[in-house]
Amino acid sequence: MNTAAAYAASFPTEKPVRFGVIGCSSIVPRALLEPARFVEDTAVVAVTNRTAAKAEMMAERYSIGTVYRTPAELLSDSQVDAVYIALSNDLHAEWIAKALNAGKHVLVEKPLCLHTDELGLIESALQPGGPCLLEGVMVRHHPWQDKLRAMVNDRSFGRLRLVETSLCIPAQNGHMDNYRSRPEQGGGCFRDLGVYWLQFLQTVAGLEGAGFQGQSSFDGPGGCDWTFQAQAEYPDGLSAVALFSFERPYRCSHTLTFEHAVVSLHDCFRANLGFYKMTLRIRQPGQIPAKTEFRPMNYYVNQLDHFCRMVRGMAAPVPFQESAERIRLLDSIYQSACQSSIK
């Protein structure tokens, strides 16, 4: 059951999609509360957090009507249609399953879960025609990805030979008092940023058949990976290399080398901060550099709009297996780096 039509009767279109927030992390305003102002018929009606004072402050600032002491109380509220889960990575699977079983649609921060063995718990809670689940990989919902996939598929510039990715975002305050500096909670740069690389590769080249490896010295706080390198080799000769870091200077980019052109996207996370124009730059030997520009968009507004259309039956749910494939690889690549570090 993959079409939007199959879900068209799942949610009344005449009422807003009412959200409850589980976890008041710093990403919540940027990913949900502010984008909700731009997505029609969307309302945030409840919030809960381990520290009640933090939930109360968020509720007051953003005019959220109800503060709950626990996530379980929020899930029992019949006025809540969907939940946005912004907990640490190790808690995602548990509360995704509980929310789906409570009949709530779920938008969860990436990664979907922390370990491969948690996928079964989530999948068992998904039912055909039931609540929707979307992993919040916000870049997925911008047309630059479709444009790059089209370039690869139609071989406008010949075969794709190399994909180079840098996702380096210096840690603010060293991610102190943050799950990103705690290995047991899924800390480190690769689990935080690697999902974006895998989703990008999944879109432009697919993931099946490629061999993946990772390396890190794991010298960050608590033994977290503060810099991580990863590679993928495809049977057709395509190579993909990536650098992730919480300690190197800011650089977020993708560069695709084709037989007859180099296509690059600089500052590829820019549109998560607001409505910004994104530009693909194209260089071909002997020709004037060209570019493809996209009107200003906000990744999180696009994501929230897509999620709400899924809930309303106006867009097909994103297949669970897309996220599951990424989680399996995320775990496998991370473990390969652990093994090489031990050696």
More confident residue, 12 or 324: 324
Q: What are phi and psi of 166, to 5 degrees?
A: -125, 125
Tokens of residue 306, six digits: 């897509």
What pLDDT is stored for residue 343 in this prediction? Answer: 53
Instruction: Print burial letters for 190-214: b (CB count within 10 Å at least 16), e (below 16).
Output: bbbbbbbbbbbbbbbbebeebebeb
Is pLDDT of 341 > 90? no
User: In the prediction, which pLDDT does 298 show?
Assistant: 98
Sketch the domain layout of the chain as residue ranges.
Answer: 4-139, 140-303+328-342
What confidence category does residue 165 fall into, taking pLDDT thresholds of 50, 70 and 90? very high
Q: Which of 104, 110, 147, 291 is catalytic?
A: 110
User: pLDDT tens digits for 104-146?
Assistant: 999 999 999 999 999 999 999 999 989 999 999 999 999 999 9
pLDDT at residue 8 greater than cutoff 80 = no
296-305: average pLDDT? 98
pLDDT value of residue 226: 98
Mean pLDDT of the chain, nearest integer: 94
Give pLDDT, residue 15.
Answer: 85
- Mean of the pLDDT values across residues 303-313? 96
Could you tell me which CATH number the domain at 4-139 has?
A: 3.40.50.720
What average pLDDT does range 257-261 have in this prediction? 98
In tens, the pLDDT along 64-73 reads 999 999 999 9
Over range 83-101, report the average pLDDT: 97
In this predicted structure, what is the pLDDT of residue 255?
98
DSSP 209-239: T-EEEEE----SGGG--SEEEEEEE-TTS-E
Q: Which CATH superfamily is domain 140-303+328-342 in?
A: Dihydrodipicolinate Reductase; domain 2 (3.30.360.10)
Dump pLDDT digits (tens) for 32-66: 999 999 999 999 999 999 999 999 999 999 999 99
Task: Note the pLDDT of residue 177.
Answer: 79
pLDDT tens digit string along 202-243? 999 999 999 999 999 999 999 999 999 999 999 999 999 999
Q: What is the per-residue pLDDT for 211? A: 98
Check residue 215 and give its pLDDT: 98
Per-residue burial over 104-132, b if 16 or more Cβ lie within 10 Å, else e, is bbbbbbbbbbbbeebbeebeebbeeeebb
Residue 153 in this model has a pLDDT that exceeds 50: yes
Residues 238 and 162 sit within 8 Å (Cβ to Cβ):
yes
Contact 259, 253 (CB under 8 A): no
Task: Please name the residues in contact with 110: beta carbons below 8 A apart, sequence gap of 6 or more.
Answer: 135, 136, 137, 195, 196
Per-residue pLDDT tens for 170-195? 998 888 878 899 988 889 999 999 99
Q: What is the pLDDT of residue 82?
A: 98
Q: Which residue has the tokens 């790059």?
A: 148
Establish whether 343 is a catalytic residue: no
Q: What is the mean pLDDT of residues 8-27?
A: 82
Residue 237: its pLDDT value, please? 97
